[in-house]
Amino acid sequence: MTEIEQKILNTKESKIVLTENIEEADLITHNGTFHSDEVFSTVLLSNVLKKDILKLCRTSNIKEGITGFVYDVGYGKYDHHQPGGNGERKNGIKYSSFGLVWRDFGKDYLKQLNCLQIEEVWSMVDKKLVQNIDAIDNGQLGKLTQFDFEVVTLPNLISMYNSNWDDEQANQNEMFLKAVQFAQTVFDRFIISVVSKIRAKSRVEDAIENSKNQILILEKFMPWKEFLLDSENEKAKNILFVVFPSNRGGYNVYAVPKENGSFESRKLFPAKWAGLKDEELSKISGVATATFCHTGRFICATRTKEDAIKIARIAVEA
């Protein structure tokens, strides 16, 4: 076992506990659906911040004067959802929260591990892992293939369980069992996720049939993109926006992509709304409870269902 591997295994992991009290939180990120960038940011920060127990608050209601570390929310130093984003690398790959956290704290973590080639290791991790996560979160997957990046895949992750060339003490059979354990967790979650997704198909088809004014309304958030885009119902071809309750509270209005896996939409929200939130967005859109429009103009949020439908209608007619 190499010195670095031994150091990682011997590092005392901070215990992360959830709290709803933002005032006492050590780590603060957004609630609702989570993504790889804030998950990996949490992993890194839990290793860098020296506390036995770290309190994590998942919320979108950022307050003034809080002392916790805020990331992927609040338009702050470690968020990237503000108008214009939050910087990019020389190769054009934009930063997500993980890239921003790795940029500022990755070398500190490597120092903790007594890594001797800090600059080289930091740079390779950034290229082989961090930029993958950043690019995908920012809709730049094409950038990775353009610059001949190695896209991180599940087989890549499994292969990393093989013994390293410089680890003469490694037991390949034990490493195989660790890979099986990891794969079992992923496989179980994959099956559970697919079964749940299939259950949504008939509900989405019913909503397509009941859609009006090129707007699809779902009474509950569920997987809809694939079923809408693959539907044989003629009405599905003309739907531009989908309204559904947000698991952060309130309602989301999502622009329908042109095809599965595409980051291009059939129609976007008005350009002058991009990146606006709360009073600014409410004023310019004329929708009282409008709270957020993504800089990419593919999603808006409101506090009420009525206003979600209203903002969708405005976008359809714009």
Distance CA 138, CA 118 (A): 27
Longest CA span, the chain: 67
Q: 131 φ, ψ to 5°?
A: -70, -30
pLDDT tens digit sequence for 289-314: 999 999 999 999 999 999 999 999 99
Residue 10: band (very low, low, confident or very high) from pLDDT cuts 50, 70, 90 = low
0.95 cut: is pTM over it? no
Does residue 96 contact residue 133 with C-beta atoms inside 8 Å?
Answer: yes
Task: Output the pLDDT for position 2.
Answer: 61
Comparing 89-93, 140-144, 254-258, which segment has the lowest mean pLDDT? 140-144
| Alpha-carbon separation of residue 295 from 251, 257, 262, 286, 292 (angstroms) | 18, 16, 17, 18, 9
Spatial CA neighbour of 28 closest among 7, 59, 2: 59
Distance CA 141, CA 110 (A): 27
Residue 277 pLDDT > 70? yes
First-to-last C-alpha distance (Å) of the chain: 62
Neighbours of 260 (CB within 10 A): 10
- Six-digit token pair at 188? 């179980």
What are the domain boundaries of the chain? Answer: 3-152, 203-317
Spatial CA neighbour of 120 closest among 112, 128, 144, 46: 128
Residue 5: band (very low, low, confident or very high) from pLDDT cuts 50, 70, 90 = low
